[in-house]
DNA sequence: CTGTTAGCGCATTCAG
DNA sequence: CTGAATGCGCTAACAG
C-alpha cells in the first residue's frame, strides 16, 4: 500500500472487516445502520471500529453515493459580522441535520472569486450558498447552470434561473431609515456608498435614493463612496460634509462605514445627533459601544442562514434544483443614540 | 450512469477523452502538465475541457494520490477577530501555494469539538491547524497520534508530541501590559478572565499573575471571570470594582471583555484612564472607536497564520510529522486613550 | 442475515 | 508519445 506523505496510515473498512472477521459489506452495513445485521456481528464490528480508531473516508463514500452531506459556503470576509453570523448560523443548521459546511473566502484580487466557487464544487459539495458581492447576475446564472447542484445566493434580491435568492427587503429598510430620520427632524440626508461591489450595492442604493427623494424636499441625495471600512467611511464622510455643509444626516452602507462617519463628525467638531445624525446597516454588536451608540438596520442573519440551509436541503431532497425563487426578509430599525 | 440527486451531471475525464478522441490517461496527462504530450493532442484536449466546462473531481483524485492539497482549519468563532484574521491569513497563504482551506467552527455545546476535527480528517485534509480553545493537551496528543497528518495548534504554548505549537509569548505580553500600567502610575491591577476555556486561559492568567505580583506591591491581583463578550466583561468589571474599590487598572482577557470594562466604568461614573485604566488583548480594529480608544496587546495574526501554513506545508513535503516544536511570537503593546 | 461482483473518477504503473 | 490494466476506499445491486 502506498503510504501517505505524512506517514501513518488510517485504517480502512477492509482492516475493520479483517479484525471483525466479516466482509467489507457487513462493516458498511453497520456503518449505515442497516437493520439486517445480526446483533452479535454488529457488536464485533463496532468493537473492531473502536479498537482500530476507524473513521469512514467521506471522499470514497461520496464518490459512489454521489452525495457528500456537505454544503459549501463562501463570502468575501468572514470577519464582517453579517457574513460571519450567517456562516455560523449555517454551520449550526448543517450540524443539526447531519450536514457539514465547507467555508471559503472569496478573493476579489485573485480571480474575482468565481474560481473559488468552482473549487468548492470540485470538492464535492452537494450545494452552495454564497454572498454574491462582486459577481454579476450573468456570472451567477452561468455558474448555477453548470454547477450540477443547488445554488443559494444571500444578500441580493435578483431573479436568476436555478438560484434561490435570500435577501432583505431593501425598500422597506430604506423607508425605515429615511422615515426615522425625517421624523426626528432631519431634512438633508447624505449617503455613504460602498464603491467595492457595485452589483450588491445597487439595490440598497436605489432604494435609499427613492426613499430620500420621496420623503424629503431636496431631490437626489448627495453621495460619497468608499470601501466598507471604518477609515474609508471616515474619509468619505469628511468629503460629504465639506462639499455639502447643509447635510444633517448620514446613512452608511454598513455599520463599519457609519462608525467612520461618527469619527468624522468628531473630527469636524460636529455633535451627533444634534448637528448630524448617523445610521448604519447590519446591526453588528460593536455598534453598541460607539460614542454615541449607533442606530442601525438589523438583518436577521441567523434566520436568513437557516432559510439558506433549508433551501439547499429541500433542493437536494426533492432532487430538483431551485427555480429563481426570491425569499424576502424583513429588516428592523434599532434606534440608539446616534439619531 | 446514476444521477446526482440534483439532476445535472458534471462531465468526467471520460467525457473529455471521448470528445477529444483520446484515452483518459492522455487527458490526465494534460491536466497534470505532463511534458510528453503532443502539442496538437494537448490542444484538442484543452478545447474539449473548455467546451465541456470540465473540472477535475478532487475527491477522486485525492483517493488515488492520497493528497488533497487541502488543509483544515478550526476555531470556536470566526467572528472573533483574532481567529478570523488567522483564518483569512491561512486562506491567503494556502491560495498562494495552490492549497485550499476547509474551515469549520468548533462547537463547545456539541461534542466539545473533537468530533469536528475528526470530521475534517474524514474529508481528506492533508493537515489540520486549529485554536485549541477548550481542548485538553491530552486530547490533542491523542488526536495528533491517530490523525495520520500533520497537526498545528495556534494560541497555546505547549509541547505536545507530533504537534507544532504557534503561540504568543504570554510572559512578554504580561510584562508589557503590567509594566505600562505601573509606568503610568497604576498600583492596584485587576484582571478580567475568560471562564469559558480554562486550558487556553491558563497560560495568560499565570503570566499576568506573575507580572502583577512582581511589579506591584499588592500580591495576587483580584480576578473576575466571564465569557469573552462585551456584556460579560461589563458585568465582571462591575463586580470587580465593587468588591475592590481601590482597583485603578483593569486588564481584559481580550478586547471584547475590555470594551465591557469601558462600559462598566461609564456605568459607575469612573473616568478612563484617570480613575481606572483599561487594557485589552488582540488589537481588533473596533478598539480604535471606543471611548476612549482601547490600549491593547496586538498579536501578529497574519504572521502566525503564515507560520502555521508553512509548518503544515513543510511537514507534508518532508513526509515527516512535526515533533513538538514550539514557535513563539512576540506581542506588541498598542497604546491608546484608555491608559 | 451475509458475501460477491461491479464501479464511482481519477492517477499510476507498465506496455507498446 | 499514447493506451490498457490496476486499484484508492467505499457502497449498490444482486446472490445466496
Which distant-in-sequence residues (6+ apart) come within 8 Å of B25 by Cβ?
A: none
How many other β-carbons are positioned within 10 Å of the β-carbon of residue A262?
Answer: 28
Check if the beta carbon of residue A292 is closer than 8 Å to that of residue A337. Answer: yes
- Burial group, residue A217, by CB count within 10 angstroms (0-12, 13-18, 19+): exposed
Cell reading at A38: 445480526
Which of B63, B81, B149 is facing A59, going by the closest CB pair?
Answer: B63
**pLDDT of B181-220, one tens digit each?**
999 999 999 999 988 766 657 788 999 999 999 999 877 8
Residue B295's nearest CA partner among B330, B256, B333 is B333
- Selected for mutation to probe chain B from A59, A87, A100 (highest B CB count within 10 Å) is A59
Mean of pLDDT values over B104-128 = 82
Distance in angstroms: CA A101, C1' C4: 36
Residues A3-36, buried b or exposed e (16+ Cβ, 10 A)?
ebbbeeebbbbebbbebbebeeebbbbbbeeeee
**Higher confidence at residue B333 or residue A52?**
B333
* Residue B15, nucleotide of least CA–C1' distance: C9
Give the pLDDT score at A198: 62
Q: What is the mean pLDDT of residues B264-274?
A: 95
Model confidence pLDDT, tens digit, residues B50-76 = 888 888 888 898 888 888 999 999 998
Rg (CA), chain A: 25
**A284 contact partners, CB below 8 Å, separation of at least 6:** A81, A82, A255, A256, A296
Cβ of residue A23 lies below 7 Å from strand D:
no
Q: Name the residue with the least CA to C1' distance from nucleotide C9.
A: B60
pLDDT tens digits along B122-136: 888 999 999 988 888
Asked if A326 and A153 touch (Cβ cutoff 8 Å), the reply is no
Contact at CB, B67 and A5, closer than 8 angstroms: yes
Pull the grid cell for residue A329.
426578509
Strand order in the sheet with B295-298: B223-226, B189-194, B249-252, B277-282, B295-298, B332-334
Give the model's pLDDT for residue B1. Answer: 36
DSSP A190-217: EEEEESS-HHHHHHHHHHHHHHHHHHSS
Model-level pTM? 0.87
Rounded distance, CA B104 to CA A94, Å?
11
Question: CA B336, CA B330: separation in Å to the nearest integer?
Answer: 19
Percent of the residues in chain B that have a pLDDT greater than 90, as a whole number: 49
pLDDT-derived band at B78 (thresholds 50, 70, 90) equals: confident
Grid cell, residue B35, equals 511534458
Partner residues linked to A295 by β-bridges? A279
**CA/C1' separation A27–D12 (Å):** 14
What is the dihedral sign for C-alpha B193, B196, B202, B203? negative
Kindly give, in sequence order, each residue whose CB lies less than 8 Å from that of residue A32, ignoring residues fewer than 6 positions away: none
Beta strands in chain A (DSSP E): 70-75, 100-105, 127-130, 151-154, 163-168, 189-194, 223-226, 249-252, 277-282, 295-298, 326-329, 332-334
**Nearest CA-CA partner of B159 in B175, B144, B174:** B144
- Which three-class secondary structure string do you get for B232-300? HHHHHHHHHHHHCCCCCEEEECCHHHHHHHHHHHHHCCCCCCCCCEEEEEECCHHHHHCCCCCEEEECC
pLDDT digits (tens, 9 = 90+) for B34-43: 777 788 888 8
Is the minimum distance from the CB of B22 to strand D below 7 Å?
yes
The pLDDT assigned to B198 comes to 62
**B contacts of A102 (beta carbons < 8 Å):** 102-104, 123
Same fold? B68-168+301-329, B170-298:
yes
Task: For residue B101, list its beta bridge partners.
Answer: B71
Chain B residues 56-85, Cβ below 7 A from strand D = 60, 63-64, 66
**What letters, b where the CB count within 10 A reaches 16 and e where it falls short, cover A220-256?**
ebbbbbbbbbbbbbbbbbbbbbeebeebbbbbbbbbb
**Number of neighbours of residue A284 by Cβ within 10 angstroms:** 24
Domain edges within chain A: 13-56, 68-168+301-329, 170-298
Determine whether the distance from the CB of B26 to the nearest atom of strand D is below 7 Å.
yes
Homologous superfamily of domain range A68-168+301-329? Response regulator (3.40.50.2300)
pLDDT in tens, A300-325: 999 999 999 999 999 988 877 777 78
Residues facing B329 on adjacent strands:
B168
Nearest-angstrom CA–CA distance, A297 and A188: 20
Give the per-residue pLDDT at B5: 43
The 10s digit of each residue's pLDDT in B291-302 is 899 999 999 999
Helices B301-318 and B81-96 sit at what angle, rounded to 10 degrees?
40
**Residue B148: HSE in the Cβ half-sphere, 13 Å Cα cutoff:** 22
Chain segment B130-159, per-residue pLDDT in tens: 998 888 888 999 899 888 899 999 998 889
Query: What is the grid cell recorded at B162?
Result: 507530533
Superfamily of domain B13-56: lambda repressor-like DNA-binding domains (1.10.260.40)
Half-sphere exposure for A83 (CA within 13 Å, toward CB): 21
- Do the Cβ atoms of A234 and A260 come closer than 8 Å? yes
Cell numbers describing residue B274:
484617570
- At A223, phi and psi to the nearest 5? -130, 140
Q: B58: closest CA among B91, B31, B26? A: B31
Contact A83/A75 with Cβ under 8 angstroms? yes
Confidence of residue B111 (pLDDT cuts 50, 70, 90): low
Q: Is the CB of A59 under 7 A from strand C?
A: no
- H/E element, B332: strand B332-334
**Across chain B, how many H-helices and E-strands are there?**
13, 12
| A26: its cell numbers | 457487513
CATH fold for domain B170-298: Rossmann fold (3.40.50)
Asked if strand D comes closer than 7 Å to B37 Cβ, the answer is: yes
Among A151, A147, A169, A168, smallest CA distance to A160 is for A151
Rounded to whole angstroms, how far apart are CA atoms A187 and A247? 8
Tens-level pLDDT at each residue, chain A (339 residues): 334 444 457 889 988 998 888 988 899 998 888 877 888 888 888 888 888 888 888 889 888 888 899 999 999 888 777 888 999 999 999 988 989 888 888 887 766 668 888 888 888 899 999 998 888 889 999 899 888 899 999 998 889 998 999 999 999 999 999 999 999 999 999 999 988 766 656 788 999 999 999 999 877 899 999 988 899 999 999 999 999 999 999 999 999 999 999 999 999 999 999 999 999 999 988 898 898 999 999 999 999 999 999 999 999 888 777 777 889 999 999 999 999
Inform me whether the pLDDT recorded for B2 exceeds 60: no
Report yes or no: B328 and B108 within 8 Å, Cβ to Cβ: no
The C-alpha angle A317, A318, A321, rounded to 5 degrees, equals 105
State which residue of chain A sits closest to B260, comparing Cα positions: A289
Average pLDDT for residues B285-296, to the nearest whole number? 91
- What chain B residue is nearest to A147 in terms of C-alpha separation? B10
D13 closest protein residue (CA to C1') = A25
Residue A138 contacts B, CB cutoff 8 Å = no
Chain A neighbors of B7, CB-CB under 8 A:
148, 319-321
Amino acid at each position: 500500500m502506498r503510504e501517505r506523505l505524512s506517514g501513518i496510515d488510517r485504517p480502512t473498512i477492509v482492516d475493520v472487516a479483517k479484525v471483525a472477521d466479516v466482509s467489507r459489506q457487513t462493516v458498511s452495513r453497520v456503518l449505515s445502520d442497516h437493520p439486517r445485521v445480526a446483533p452479535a456481528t454488529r457488536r464485533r464490528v463496532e468493537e473492531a471500529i473502536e479498537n482500530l480508531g476507524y473513521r469512514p473516508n467521506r471522499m470514497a463514500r461520496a464518490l459512489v453515493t454521489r452525495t457528500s452531506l456537505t454544503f459549501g459556503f463562501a463570502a468575501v470576509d468572514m470577519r464582517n459580522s453579517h457574513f460571519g453570523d450567517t456562516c455560523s448560523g449555517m454551520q449550526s443548521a448543517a450540524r443539526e441535520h447531519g450536514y457539514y459546511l465547507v467555508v471559503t473566502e472569496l478573493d476579489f484580487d485573485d480571480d474575482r472569486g468565481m474560481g473559488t466557487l468552482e473549487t468548492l464544487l470540485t470538492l464535492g459539495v452537494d450545494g452552495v450558498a454564497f454572498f454574491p458581492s462582486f459577481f454579476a447576475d450573468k456570472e451567477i446564472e452561468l455558474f448555477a447552470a453548470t454547477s450540477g447542484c443547488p445554488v443559494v445566493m444571500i444578500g441580493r434580491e435578483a431573479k436568476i434561473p436555478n438560484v434561490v435568492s435570500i435577501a432583505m427587503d431593501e425598500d422597506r429598510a430604506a423607508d425605515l431609515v429615511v422615515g426615522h430620520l425625517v421624523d426626528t427632524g432631519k431634512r438633508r440626508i447624505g449617503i455613504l456608498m460602498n464603491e467595492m461591489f457595485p452589483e450588491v450595492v445597487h439595490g440598497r442604493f436605489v432604494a435609499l435614493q427613492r426613499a430620500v427623494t420621496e420623503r424629503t424636499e431636496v431631490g437626489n441625495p448627495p453621495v460619497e463612496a468608499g470601501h466598507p471600512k471604518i477609515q474609508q467611511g471616515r474619509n468619505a464622510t469628511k468629503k460629504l460634509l465639506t462639499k455639502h455643509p447643509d447635510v444633517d444626516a448620514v446613512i452608511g452602507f454598513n455599520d463599519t462605514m457609519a462608525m467612520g462617519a461618527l469619527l468624522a463628525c468628531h473630527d469636524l467638531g460636529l455633535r451627533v445627533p444634534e448637528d448630524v445624525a448617523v445610521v448604519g446597516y447590519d446591526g453588528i454588536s460593536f455598534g453598541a459601544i460607539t460614542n454615541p451608540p449607533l442606530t442601525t438596520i438589523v438583518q436577521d442573519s441567523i434566520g436568513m442562514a437557516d432559510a439558506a440551509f433549508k433551501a439547499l436541503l429541500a433542493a437536494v431532497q426533492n432532487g430538483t434544483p431551485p427555480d429563481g425563487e426570491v425569499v424576502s426578509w424583513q429588516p428592523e430599525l434599532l434606534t440608539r443614540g446616534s439619531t
